[in-house]
Structure 1
Amino acid sequence: MSTLSTLAALLLVVQTAFTAPTETSVSSVFGSEKVACSIFKQKYPDHTFYPNTAGYTYETQSQYWSARQFSLPACVFVPSSATQVSFAITTLTLTLSKFAIRGGGHMPVPGYNNIDSNGILLSTSNLSTLALSKDQATVSIGPGNRWRNVYAYLQPYGLAVAGGRVGSVGVPGLLLGGGISFYSNQYGFASNNVVKYECVLASGIIIEATARNAYSDLFWALKGGGNSFCIVTRFDLKAFKSPKVWVGMAQYDQSQSANYLDAVYTFGKYGALDSKAAIIPTVVMLPGINTTIYVTAKFYDSETSSPTVFENFTAPNLVSFSDSFALQPLSTYIDSTDVLQPLGLRQEFRVMSSIVSRDAIGLIHDTYTSAVSAKLSGVANLTTTITFQPITKEFIQQGINAGGNPQGVDISKAPYFWMDESWSWTREEDDETILNFADSVTADINKQLQAKGLAGTYLYMNDAGKGQPIFQSYPAKNLERLKEVREKYDPSRIYTNLTPGGWKVLQA
């Protein structure tokens, strides 16, 4: 039987699965993933991998940041074009097969970008387009790229994009969740810099969405609405001149914690005064050896360094024991920091939000560090961090200027700190301890922030843990609009029910 005949025959299965009261929703059928794998293998044998093959191992393990994401799908399909993605979605829909989609594999929530043997993994590894437009105003980026690839490609042209700050992070996950960039004070969310999305809809149709064409509603939804709408097979981003920047990382010992927190607060409060500047301030704890290090990644988008913008992070206010701040291409810095994100460890995230307040920083820091010291010192090889990401009014205004986005962050209460809590460890037997701690310390800090009127409302998807109410933190009217867009483009709920991973607007 031909592939098309096989797919047509499977329509009978689909018809019996569409039942009231949700006529247009779908669920999987036991064993259907085996049928889909067989179809992929027949049509694209070189792009389909079964267990116990080198391609399968590469796609299901070596491409994931967190070992908790390693899983064993029925097969892996690795399309190399939007047409092949379309074929995959049609096949998966007609067979009612569950599937996961992996971009860079950095999101550590189990099941969000991989799937077990009752489903199929779609890998974007071969969707690796990188192409600069003739006028060098935009760059087309395939979802199989990580940000290190993008910056390296643009570096010979003296160009950059508003992209990720960690080289191993994948392009699609960052952009579909909004994306914080070193350039965000100048250009807003990374997603505010997308000018066109090439997408495969649930119907299998390939379209392009822009701010002004017939798919402008979908274009808006993709700027922070996650994976409920389509599979993006190409992102076209604005490119801009940024041949070299001042960037590097300074480290301080525990004795300087108070001055460090003062400096972070001051930058958070006044950082918008120079939009070329950005920082990533991170408290790094190694509880097993009772060590805490205070780190600041400093960034300045100019070949001329500002003498004042980072003065609170330098002597005599703070004396670093290491500082790599230097003029260099961004791609060089990104490559040098990849070692800080090793593959194969067990990872977990949580996200929090507060207004910029010295009291808020102190409360969060003291509660977190005390709890870690009291409860996690026995976890082997544990590294835990909390990062205070300053979000300025200028950052938010840039998104508004670019036509708005689903996040709808309230600019009237800006600036904010968006805190990323992370844990990295080695032993599976410690999973429950870490997950319980993550829930309890986050709830404790949020309760204290709420009681003191210091809490923010928006929760940043890309730093969140499973179960955190991401879309519930968006304005109600934006969430309703997201649900309407999802219903319009995916009435059968293919990207909701057959793709279980990720935060879903329908479920918010």
Structure 2
Amino acid sequence: MGLKHVLSFGILTGVTTVAAEDAFELPNFNITQTLIDNGIDISVLSGKRGGAINSSEQRCSETCNSLESIFGSPKVSSAPPDTYWSLQQSSVHPSCTFSPTTAKDVSTAVLIVRLFQCPFAAKSGGHAAFAGASSVEGGVILDLVNMNVRELSADKKTVSVGPGNRWLDVYDFLTPYGLAVVGGRAASVGVGGLTLGGGISHHTNKYGLACDNIASYEVVTASGKIINVNEKSYPDLYWALRGGGNNFGIVTMFHYETLEQGLMFASKRQYNASNIPALIDAFENAVQSATNDTHLAHFVSIAYSSGVKIASTEYEYFTPVDVVNPPQILKEYLSIPPLQHTTGNVTLAETTPGLTESMPAGFRTTMWSQSFRLNSELMKRMSDLFYEIAPSVPGKASSVAFQAFSQPALEAMQKKGGNALGLDPTDGPLFHALFYVPWTDEKDDKVILKAAQDYMSAAVAMAKELGAYNDYIYMPYSSPYQPVIRSYGAMNQARLAAVARKYDPSGVFQELQPGYFKLGDNAPYGPTVQ
């Protein structure tokens, strides 16, 4: 659905397919009156508005001028945020960056960009690997970095977390209470994108994904309303936010359910590449054994750098472990001799810097994602193929990481009405592959992206041959050439689109916020690397 032109003083017109009794935003919605209701003096708004301005550049300039008139220069900057992970994101040049501190600030900003019809992007941690994901050329970036509340409820069963937080911030806050949440595994990743895209966690085997463990969300909608979304208040929107990405509103507070967590076992190990078959066998057996023990988190990664083949693993177990007498589920892994390792019983916060160090900021990056039925033969063939192509891939180092969606994890994803991802426990267990490359020279972009796409296409072909293919693509690890939402299945895709039409009938979060993975059939950059 296209955006409607703004008529005199911000009245939107247009027909929505949502029945009148179900309408969340009325057809005669008045942006200007809503701004007045937000306490905004509309006399300070800049120039002409919306459809009265033909140039996108002028519309966005007027938007930025209006934001600065309302909020002042400390919250409005002409520079892009300096906290993006990938160089592709940080190379985008917005008309301005707005850094709100409250949900009401965000509400006003959404109304202002609607009024002037200026494209925008919302940024939490900025950890995506492609331009336009949480950045926008020539538009307005809503940088949520200063919305960094962390507040534990009186009964300690939930914690309120602003979208400006990163996972280390959250775990450092909760550790003194002996608590944790089902959240990300890398210190510097923001809470927003990971949670709205699903959110693989150390705790996924037992509790599901991060999105499956949200008590409620505070959301700013396209009409500037600030609503509390939970399983009972807005059940359709609550479901859609569990994996549906940035397509429904801007989450200004996540209320995570807490869990008890003291010291835990953590081990990071590197191996000679000759151990890869044994590691894959151990991976498969550990995934199968999760039906008896959900306390283990683990992945196997294969890498190539400067002619060297290497394998690495990471294991976390919910409780302290004596490596002389480990739980049964860990014994096969720990029997494989590493080249080096770091092992101990530590806090959850202390486990998170490792992944951040292995995927550092400041590089051009690409990530490609695909899920498969658990199949060790496929994993071994994918490993062989990786080492065939890796020497021809420019870059600092390339890698493929194998991670699990165990049977208990898939079952945990079904609680509270299930999430939007379309993962069925009857299809499990599954494993997920992440192809990752960092590099520095822009001239290598096409070669690297094409190699990544060709690798993943070959892996899919092998999986189909072995009867191990699964459609699902994990949003936070995906490339702009992958149709993530389509991988959720036709029924879920249609249901997500219906929820979006209900809460955003003018298509603000589909078109005025054009970046990341939208609800149509297409990938952000199209299907093929050009």
Quick one: which of 44, 58, 65 aligns to 1:38? 65
Equivalences for residues 463-482 of structure 1 within 5 A: 463-482=477-496
Say which is worse superposed, 485-494 or 425-434, in terms of deviation. 425-434
**Is residue 42 of structure 2 the alignment partner of residue 4 of structure 1?**
yes
Distance in 1 between the 2:74 and 2:498 partners?
Answer: 35
Partner of 2:378: 360
**Is residue 393 of structure 2 the alignment partner of residue 393 of structure 1?**
no
**Which runs of no fewer than 5 residues in structure 2 stay unpaired?**
1-39, 523-530
1:507 Cα shift?
Answer: 4.7
Equivalences for residues 34-183 of structure 1 within 5 A: 34-51=61-78, 56=79, 59-60=80-81, 62-70=82-90, 71-116=92-137, 118-183=138-203
**Is residue 305 of structure 2 the alignment partner of residue 291 of structure 1?**
no
Partner of 1:498: 512
- The amino acid that maps onto 2:500 is R
1:192 Cα shift?
Answer: 0.6
1:493 Cα shift?
Answer: 0.7
- The amino acid that maps onto 2:71 is Y
Distance in 2 between the 1:337 and 1:488 partners?
Answer: 39
Q: Aligned to 2:145, what secondary structure does the other structure show?
A: coil
1:131 Cα shift?
Answer: 0.3
**Is residue 323 of structure 2 the alignment partner of residue 328 of structure 1?**
no
Distance in 1 between the 2:519 and 2:74 partners?
Answer: 31
Partner of 1:417: 431
Q: Is the 8 A contact 2:368 2:456 kept in 1?
A: yes
Distance in 2 between the 1:370 and 1:268 partners?
Answer: 27
**Is residue 265 of structure 2 the alignment partner of residue 246 of structure 1?**
yes
Q: Is the 8 A contact 1:271 1:278 kept in 2?
A: no
Distance in 1 between the 2:75 and 2:103 partners?
Answer: 16
Distance in 2 between the 1:28 and 1:400 partners?
Answer: 47
Distance in 2 between the 1:28 and 1:507 partners?
Answer: 29
**Which runs of no fewer than 5 residues in structure 1 stay unpaired?**
18-26
Distance in 2 between the 1:460 and 1:91 partners?
Answer: 33
Q: Aligned to 1:239, what secondary structure does the other structure show?
A: strand
Quick one: which of 252, 255, 259 aligns to 2:274? 255
- Say if 1:147 and 1:220 are closer, same or farther in 2 by CA, change over 3 A: same
- The amino acid that maps onto 1:505 is L
- Say if 1:364 and 1:336 are closer, same or farther in 2 by CA, change over 3 A: closer
1:322 Cα shift?
Answer: 1.6
Q: Is the 8 A contact 1:298 1:325 kept in 2?
A: no
Distance in 1 between the 2:421 and 2:359 partners?
Answer: 27
- Please give the TM-score of this superposition, normalised by the length of structure 2: 0.87
Distance in 2 between the 1:8 and 1:49 partners?
Answer: 15
Distance in 2 between the 1:441 and 1:35 partners?
Answer: 45
Distance in 1 between the 2:337 and 2:411 partners?
Answer: 34
Partner of 1:344: 362
Distance in 2 between the 1:490 and 1:177 partners?
Answer: 19
After TM superposition, where is structure 1 displaced by more than 4 Å over at least 4 residues in a row? 6-11
Say which is worse superposed, 304-313 or 200-209, in terms of deviation. 304-313
Distance in 2 between the 1:10 and 1:412 partners?
Answer: 56
Distance in 1 between the 2:406 and 2:476 partners?
Answer: 18
Q: Is the 8 A contact 2:45 2:69 kept in 1?
A: no
Q: Is the 8 A contact 1:162 1:187 kept in 2?
A: yes
1:115 Cα shift?
Answer: 1.6
Say which is worse superposed, 339-348 or 183-192, in terms of deviation. 339-348
Distance in 2 between the 1:335 and 1:152 partners?
Answer: 12
Distance in 1 between the 2:462 and 2:355 partners?
Answer: 34
Q: Aligned to 1:332, what secondary structure does the other structure show?
A: helix
- Say if 1:333 and 1:294 are closer, same or farther in 2 by CA, change over 3 A: same
- Say if 1:105 and 1:496 are closer, same or farther in 2 by CA, change over 3 A: same
- Say if 1:267 and 1:82 are closer, same or farther in 2 by CA, change over 3 A: same
- Describe the superposition over 1:421-464 as per-residue Cα deviations: whole angstroms up to 9, x where unpaired: 10011111111111111111111221221122121121111111
- Say if 1:99 and 1:212 are closer, same or farther in 2 by CA, change over 3 A: same
- Describe the superposition over 1:242-292 as per-residue Cα deviations: whole angstroms up to 9, x where unpaired: 021111211111222221222222223333321011102111211xx2112
Q: Is the 8 A contact 1:254 1:292 kept in 2?
A: yes
Cα RMSD of the aligned pairs, angstroms, is 1.9
Distance in 1 between the 2:402 and 2:516 partners?
Answer: 24
Quick one: which of 237, 244, 252 aligns to 2:256? 237
Q: Is the 8 A contact 1:168 1:341 kept in 2?
A: no
Partner of 1:20: none
Say which is worse superposed, 191-200 or 276-285, in terms of deviation. 276-285
Partner of 2:328: 308
Partner of 1:278: 297
1:480 Cα shift?
Answer: 1.2
